[in-house]
């Protein structure tokens, strides 16, 4: 999983460097695809539930699962990139939101808080805690900064499959309807806050994939695959060039 994670992290960094006005989202997908193949790995998203590309690229009001296309990125767009890599039977899954150019103060703040939500959650990802401690950490940080948390999608266990149990929600469900498992040493999970500038509700576009905010406001995403250890968790989707 370290090997898969490193390739995924490098692919995310490569994609992030390509986020510039005038670039098509498909050209980023192609570059990431070719990089992953060059590492003797495979893009874990390609063909997953018939998903047609190697990465998801979601602009501005798009939350997740944007499909790469001939559309060009504009100056100031916020661009969420999600990459999954399968290497030697194991998966690394990570995402981040980048800006084309400098971006507005609001856009930079949304991206920063979303990243901080991940790191707050990371501190809660310890044996003895429960998954809800991760969820609470994300929700608290997002909402105390005036943002909302997407409820229709969650983080997840990850291993030989992209999506394994447990679900790792970014919010607390009251009253609780689902199990709230304990976090144990050796677990590998993807923590992935999806944070909206406005309302938490989402819609799915007619392409069957693209998730957008209901109010049209921006959304940011940040994700890493982590390993639970007896002390601090280890980020597996890591490389020299972390967003
Ligand atoms: N982005 C999702 C995740 O991080 C997985 C994408 S599924 C795909 O868990 F089909 F869009 F690839
Ligand atoms: Co994920």
Residue 214: the pLDDT is 98
Using the atom order of ligand 1, give the atom closest to the CA of residue 49.
Answer: 10
Q: Quick one: pLDDT band at residue 178, thresholds 50, 70, 90?
A: confident
Query: 118, 89, 97, 95: which is closest to 4 by C-alpha?
Result: 89
Q: What is the dihedral of CA 114, 118, 119, 121, to 10 degrees?
A: 130
Question: Could you tell me the distance, in angstroms and rounded to a whole number, from the CA of residue 139 to the centre of ligand 2?
Answer: 17
Residue 177: the pLDDT is 85
User: What does the pLDDT look like over 56-109, one tens digit per residue?
Assistant: 999 999 999 999 999 999 999 999 999 999 999 999 999 999 999 999 999 999
> The pTM is what?
0.98
User: What does the pLDDT look like over 139-157, one tens digit per residue?
Assistant: 999 999 999 999 999 999 9
Question: What is the average pLDDT value for the chain, to the nearest integer?
Answer: 98
Reply yes or no on whether the pLDDT at 204 is more than 90. yes
Q: 175: cis peptide before it, omega within 30°?
A: yes
Q: Which ligand lies nearest the alpha carbon of 48?
A: 1
Distance CA 156, CA 168 (A): 5
Using the atom order of ligand 1, give the atom closest to the CA of residue 95.
Answer: 4
Distance CA 148, CA 219 (A): 9
Residue 153: the pLDDT is 98
Residue 235: the pLDDT is 99
Query: 228, 143, 141, 144: which is closest to 183 by C-alpha?
Result: 228
Q: Quick one: pLDDT band at residue 176, thresholds 50, 70, 90?
A: confident
Distance CA 164, CA 185 (A): 16
**Mean pLDDT lowest among 10-19, 142-151, 171-180:** 171-180
Using the atom order of ligand 1, give the atom closest to the CA of residue 94.
Answer: 4
Question: Could you tell me the distance, in angstroms and rounded to a whole number, from the CA of residue 56 to the centre of ligand 1?
Answer: 7
Contacts of 83 (CB under 8 A, 6+ apart): 8, 11, 12, 15, 32, 43, 45, 54, 55, 93, 94, 95
Average pLDDT over every residue of 107-122: 98
Residue 225: the pLDDT is 99
Residue 102: the pLDDT is 96
Share of the chain above pLDDT 70, in %: 100
Pocket lining for ligand 1, CB < 6 angstroms: 45, 48-49, 51, 56, 64-65, 82, 93, 156, 162, 192, 223
């Amino acid at each position: 999983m370290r090997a898969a994670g490193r390739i995924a992290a490098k692919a995310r960094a490569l994609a992030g460097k390509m986020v510039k006005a005038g670039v098509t989202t498909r050209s980023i997908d192609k570059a990431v695809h070719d990089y992953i193949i060059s590492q003797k790995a495979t893009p874990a998203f390609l063909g997953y539930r018939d998903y047609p590309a190697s990465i998801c690229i979601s602009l501005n009001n798009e939350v997740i699962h944007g499909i790469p296309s001939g559309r060009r990125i504009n100056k100031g767009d916020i661009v969420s990139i999600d990459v999954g890599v399968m290497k030697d039977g194991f998966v690394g899954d990570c995402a981040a939101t980048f800006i084309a150019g400098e971006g507005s103060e609001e856009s930079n703040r949304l991206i920063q808080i979303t990243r901080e939500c991940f790191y707050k959650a990371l501190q809660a990802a310890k044996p003895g805690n429960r998954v809800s401690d991760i969820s609470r950490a994300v929700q608290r940080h997002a909402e105390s900064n005036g943002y909302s948390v997407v409820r229709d999608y969650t983080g997840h266990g990850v291993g030989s499959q992209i999506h394994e149990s447990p679900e790792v929600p970014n919010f607390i469900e009251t009253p609780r309807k689902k199990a709230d498992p304990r976090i144990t040493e050796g677990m590998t999970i993807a923590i992935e806050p999806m944070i909206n500038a406005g309302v938490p509700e989402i819609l799915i576009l007619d392409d069957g994939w693209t998730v957008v905010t209901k109010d049209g406001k921006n959304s940011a995403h940040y994700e890493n695959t982590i390993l639970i250890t007896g002390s601090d968790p280890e980020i597996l989707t890591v490389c020299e060039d972390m967003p």
